[in-house]
Structure 1
Amino acid sequence: MHGAIRARLTRMSPRTPANQPTPASPRPPANPRIALVNPEQLHPTPGYHHITVVEAGRTAYLAGQCPLDANGDLVGPESLNDQIDQVAANAVAALAAVAARPEDVVRSVVYVCGDESAVLGAAWHRLNRSVLGPAFRTAATLLGVASLGFRGQLVEVDLTAALPG
């Protein structure tokens, strides 16, 4: 990334209103091509960042990761937690297939069936504590939806990653 842009982004990177590092991401991302930005004019975030800037390079766009096992069967039709765990495992496997890690994710969209903020929040917290957790420190969106593609499906995660190297 160009020096002047990197310097400006570094100064603007993770902060809270008191200009302190964001607790959820106290260090810069492992991929040097990724810069995280929280402009002072925007509200503080609970761990994710308003803007993710990626230096030009290769990018992977993952299809929505569903809670399906290796046979294509839905995992935990009644359990949001079981489905989140399966989605996280599937996403990590998909990233690994292109030599990427959760730290290389630059954008995520999480879809959860339902409109109750407590359910959405619980899903968000479980994902952040999962093996996929570092993926949610960049630009992220959490959406409550009426339904997803498979009968009984409660969660889906859509990821974009900046490939290392």
Structure 2
Amino acid sequence: MSAERQLLIIEDDTAFARTLSRSFERRGYDVLLATQQDEAAVLLREHNPGYAVVDLKLEGNASGLACVQMLHKHNPDMLIVVLTGFASLATAVEAIKLGACQYLAKPSNTDDIEAAFNHVAGATEIELTNRSTSIKTLEWERIHQVLVEADFNISEAARRLGMHRRTLARKLEKQRVK
């Protein structure tokens, strides 16, 4: 099948990956599934997908950002959408810098992802707000920035933030995006 309709999904939640896969297959995509970067690299030896969906946080605290980088190196024209339940400004910026075309917070469905594939160019019509950023938002973004820098290692991120590991874990649990 041509790369135009081939999609690689890198997601460690097998139930979600299976559901997403079936939904995209109904839309005419040839879907390849991987749960981690190594599996995706093996698939890329034989396939050249034109699309990819990558979970930001993979099993064992592996970062999907490394997958984005690998996919972009493999095919700079591939349209890559990053999905995450741990959205932050820092990870969104890094994902785009590494080659993703869009960054979506979970829950996202097939319609959202396909719309993201079709909305690659930026839009100047986005409304600018006059609202300043809250302290909670700044704290949340800083926590995620440090998590990215620490490769999602909670103990290391807590050390860098100067807080107890359990305190950081509680903050992450409270703010989890499902």
TM-score by length of 2: 0.28
Higher relative contact order, chain-length normalized (CA < 8 Å, sep 6+):
1
The structure richer in strand per residue is: 1
